[in-house]
Structure 1
Amino acid sequence: MSIVTTIILGLCITFIIIYLTINIDKFKPKKRSEHQDLIDSIHAKIAKANGASMKQYSLENLSIENTKKQDFYAKVEFVNKNCTNLEDFIINDEINEFDLLKLADLNGIDLQIRSGWFPLVIELIKKLNAYGWNKKVTCIKEKYAGLRFHAECVYGDAISNIVEKYENKSQNVCETCGEPGEIRSNSGWDYVACRKHYLENRGKITIVERGFNLNDNFFPWKDIKNANFEDLMGRDKYNFLNIQFNNQIVRHAGWEDRKLYISKYVMGFGNFLNHLPKSINNLDYSYIENFKNLEYCKICGYQAVYFDECECCENETWNSYIKTWRVKNEEMEEKKLSHHHYKQLKWAMHKDDVFESTQNNYPKNPNHKILYTEKELKEHLESFES
């Protein structure tokens, strides 16, 4: 082999080694499925689309180049405004959401949570600071309706336990306003919301002259071409009603057509079914018969029980519950009372009725019986807040 050939071969080998070193991640086996990566990307887009409203600043404004970020910081006052490194970052009782943003910035990450969780995360970093946390964090975001805060720690130590506690706590705090909330799952992804912000996302359908309104968009009865229930999920219950129109154009996120998909989770769905014209093609009117007998709910007290489920608080009736969970006859009354007691306490704990009582969505049973005491509710709330 000639010297020239040896040199060329050596250069090729060197080039290959350098290329593999730089791009080694491309050749590593994927630890997670592509489906999981897609979910992560969707969650990131949701976070940015919904926005972490911070005095009118959205998440889109937070993920910006350093030059623009300095202009952003110049508009507001906060403890760590002039801080340039983690070692000098101050954690005290005066820090606010802008300090939280600065902490993320100094760690080279984006702050991907909504404003309702800012106080929770600020409280978290104060707790961590008391245990000597080094202020390093590689992730502050929402995922699967829970806070994800990745700090340097050892599993089972004080730092790890505090982070776990607050990640769990986030599942009961509305991401939008910080009020007590719970995980909601009716929109294609899980998120945490109080009743007010949940209903804003849930939507509402009302009957008006000559048609109906869905989220303030009017649809005339006479323009309905056909309709059918879809997505049977067991127990003879459908997920939504699909309506096709002759002329009405329906605008969806990213496309438009003449089809409207009305979820069973929409407020007013049961009443809407009972007002549908009797001459719609392909519509299963026998299914609608299940929504004829409207009852008061034993849990929230509102007249919103259709087909063994309350449209208001979304709890199933006791009769529906015992079809799934076996209860001995001799324990029936005791278990029933305990079931309603627990569900009522949960409804009150999240302050759902505080908002619902102002909406006039459903009439309230004047004889609704509350099964919990004020003392029980107070103790329940204290355990939630601790």
Structure 2
Amino acid sequence: MDTSALKSKYPRLVYDPYFECKEGWAGLLDDFLSVVDRVLPADREFRLLQVKEKMGGLRIYYSAVPSEAAEEIRNAERRAEMRSEHICETCGKRGRMSNRDGYWFVACEEHRVDDNGRVAIPSEGFTRYGTPSGGWQRYDFDLDTLVPCDPPEGY
């Protein structure tokens, strides 16, 4: 991922982190960093350490944050990570969690096919759940929010 735009837009937040994801998630990172930039006190330091794809979704790792900003930053992180499971990592269009030969990733229709013509199989009913102190939640892409829900079956 080319991080130069994020470095220019958020110079106090983005130094030289390790990025292991594609351009399609740049908008998610921009949304996350805009929250951090807004809620982080000007005299406090923040360091984005690593951004990567893991098990098909975005993962954001960063330094400790001050307690007065921690909840909003954590919520922005959770939203970006859960939203990534519906956004094609390659182009940023709406996509589905898919599997090709055991590798999970999010792809739109166009990017489900690799250069060798192998097609990834979209997952049916994929849902990631969160367990914040307030109870179980799932991400609803259409509402763009976390909504209360029952625990997954068998939990």
For residues 129 and 136 of structure 1, the distance between their equivalents in structure 2, rounded to whole angstroms, comes to 11
Structure 2: distance between partners of 1:201 and 1:121: 27
The answer to whether the 8 A contact 2:35-2:76 is kept is yes
Distance 1:122 1:195 in 2: 24
Match runs of 1:76-115 below 5 Å: 89=11, 103-105=14-16, 109-115=17-23
Q: 1:119 and 1:192 mapped to 2: Cα distance? A: 15
1:189 alignment counterpart = 103
Secondary structure of 2:100 counterpart: coil
Look up the match of 1:147. 58
CA offset digits 1:307-351 (Å, max 9, x no partner): xxxx9x786xxxxxxxxxxxxxxxxxxxxxxxxxxx8xx9xxxxx
Higher helix share: 1
**Which has the higher relative contact order, 1 or 2, with Cα contacts under 8 A spaced 6 or more apart?**
2
- Name 2:90's counterpart in structure 1: 176
Partner of 1:120: 28
Superposition pairs of residues 13-162 of structure 1, within 5 angstroms: 52=1, 54=2, 89=11, 103-105=14-16, 109-132=17-40, 134-151=45-62, 152-153=64-65, 157-162=71-76
Return the TM-score normalized by structure 2: 0.62
1:20 aligned partner:
none
Structure 1 residues 171 and 314: alpha-carbon distance in aligned structure 2, compared to 1, 3 A threshold:
closer
* Number of residue pairs aligned between Structure 1 and Structure 2: 126
List structure 1 segments (4+ residues) > 6 angstroms apart after TM superposition. none
Alignment map for 1:318-329 (pairs within 5 Å): none
User: Relative to 1, partners in 2 of residues 1:178 and 1:79: Cα closer, same or farther, differing over 3 Å?
Assistant: closer
The structural deviation recorded for 1:157 is: 2.0
1:123-272 residue pairs with structure 2 within 5 A?
123-132=31-40, 134-151=45-62, 152-153=64-65, 157-200=71-114, 203=117
Q: RMSD of aligned C-alpha atoms? A: 3.7
Q: Flag structure 2 segments of 5+ consecutive residues without an equivalent.
A: 127-139, 147-155
Question: 1:132 & 1:113 partners in 2: Cα distance?
Answer: 25
Partner of 1:172: helix, strand, or coil?
A: coil
Q: Deviations over 1:64-113 (max 9, x none)?
A: xxxxxxxxx7xxxx6856xxxxxx9257xxxxxxxxxxx241xxx32111
Of 109, 125, 143, 1:383 maps to: 143
Work out which of the two has the higher radius of gyration on C-alpha atoms and give 1 or 2: 1
Give, in angstroms, the shift of residue 126 of structure 1.
0.3
TM-score (norm 1): 0.28
CA distance 1:137–1:181, shift in 2 (3 Å): same
CA positional deviation for 1:201: 6.3
Structure 1 spans left out of the alignment, 5+ residues: 1-51, 55-61, 63-72, 82-87, 92-102, 205-264, 267-310, 316-342, 347-379
Aligned-pair CA distance for 1:381: 5.9
Higher share of residues assigned strand: 2
Q: Percent identity?
A: 21
d(CA) in 1 for partners of 2:116 and 2:39?
41
Asked if the contact 2:56–2:85 (Cα under 8 Å) also holds between the matched residues in 1, the reply is yes
How far residue 158 of structure 1 moved from its aligned partner, in angstroms, is 2.0
Say if 1:182 and 1:384 are closer, same or farther in 2 by CA, change over 3 A: farther
